[in-house]
Chains A and B, each alone.
Chain A
């Protein structure tokens, strides 16, 4: 911030000062904070893959109890919701380093194919949630038998 001498004679000079101040402000607001981890991204990060039968959605969710995870499929939207709780909430502990995040999260994604909602399964192993969504019958590739005329 600069101190600007009040000068009645030239209103344009003060306008350029304002312009510069606004420019600085925009720079501050648009710069992304330099924080590591999951701060600037959607949580949980996911990998979506497909094969002929199903769509797989994998999410890295280390350290979450299954009872605190909620996976829902409505039409072709998959929603993963949950809460990651701090391992200990004892007042006697002192944190020396804190890089992992805690809290509630929810994320919805649009599935790439029509899926059979009834047959969706989910498993949680080693901190990775895998949701297997079998494709709906109309989305599966069909082999067309060519008949000899």
Chain B
């Protein structure tokens, strides 16, 4: 068997000047996908090891702020002998325009993936204009 050392996943660390860092632990930048459908935008964010109750999604001014906190309790009494990824909290924020109906943003967490559905505001939804023959 090969004994090659595996490089670890260098999650992008967030420096304290970008966000308010409180509590213990490091903060990381989670990977995300954003896609658009005719009447909404969906943001998918990978936040493994974060449970639904430890996620906060805040709307402040025009920023959507997402924080996810992990707990390290699982490792109590264990000795880590091989480590390939960082365990830490997640933070990410997005700037939201007027094209989003802010009252109807929905968030759902399943299997470590947070999905946010941002419905488009009525005035930007694609509309078909009927052409009438006279």
Contacts and interface: CB of A to CB of B under 8 A. Distances in A.
Interface string A107-133: 000101000000000001111101000
Contacts, number: 121
B112 A126 contact: yes
Contact of B82 (A41, A48, A61, A90): A48
B134 interface: no
Contacts of A127: 46-50, 111-113
Given A45-B8, A110-B1, A93 B115 contact: no
Nearest to A77: B1
* Best-surrounded residue of B36, B79, B111 (most CB of chain A within 10 A): B111
Interface residues of A, number: 41
A49 interface: yes
Chain A binding surface, main DSSP class: loop
Contact of B78 (A45, A51, A63, A88): A51
Contacts of B79: 49-51
Contacts of B80: 47-49
A139 to B, nearest CB: 14
Q: Which of A46, A49, A124, A130 has the most CB of B within 10 A?
A: A49
A62 interface: yes
Interface string A28-42: 000000001110111
A62 B46 contact: yes
B98 interface: no
Interface string B25-68: 00000011111111001101011111100000000000000000
B23 interface: no
B88 to A, nearest CB: 12
A95 interface: yes
A62 B8 contact: no
A65 B113 CA distance: 12
A100 interface: yes
A92 interface: yes
Nearest to B38: A92
B132 interface: no
Interface of A: 36-38, 40-42, 45-51, 56, 58, 60-65, 87-88, 90, 92-100, 110, 112, 124-128, 130
7 contacts: A56-B78, A64-B111, A88-B42, A94-B37, A124-B111, A126-B112, A127-B111
